[in-house]
Structure 1
Amino acid sequence: MKRKAMARRERHWKKSLFKLARHEFAKALHSAKISHWDKFVAEAQGKDLFTVFAYTKPK
């Protein structure tokens, strides 16, 4: 019985670590997308201005 309980705890622990890592990765990805978009908009010139307008105009 002890082995089964230990295995169950270990699976739960690994699943918790996976969820935490997935959450941290999603936060990092979201932050990177926002900073990349802000940089793109700030440095937009020429044709890029039309691209920004196309992405931001209401549909």
Structure 2
Amino acid sequence: AEARHMLGGRGGRGEQDRKEQEVFHGSLISFTSLTGFIYLAEARRQASLTIKRRLRRIMI
């Protein structure tokens, strides 16, 4: 019974570790996509600002 309890405990912990790792990977992926999205939005904003400046310079 003691050995079975230890094995069961280890098995349960392994399952828990796997779940936590999945959650971690999921949050890591969403974090990466979020930062990528923010970076893209910022880059687009910077690009539109420079385009506007160039247009203004051409108009003047």
- TM superposition score normalised by structure 2: 0.71
Structure 2 residue aligned with 1:33: 39
- Structure 1 segments (4+ residues) deviating >2 Å: none
**Which structure ranks higher in relative contact order (CA pairs < 8 Å, sequence separation ≥ 6)?**
1
1:43 match: secondary structure: helix
Aligned pairs, how many? 46
Percentage of pairs with the same residue: 4
Cα deviations across residues 27-59 of structure 1 (Å, max 9, x unaligned)? 00111111101001111226xxxxxxxxxxxxx
Can you give the 5+ residue segments of structure 2 that lack an aligned partner in the other structure? 1-6, 55-60
Aligned mate of 1:24, from 22, 25, 30: 30
RMSD between aligned residues: 1.1
Task: Return 5+ residue gaps in structure 1 as ranges.
Answer: 47-59
Per-residue deviation at 1:3? Answer: 0.4
TM-score, L = length of structure 1: 0.72
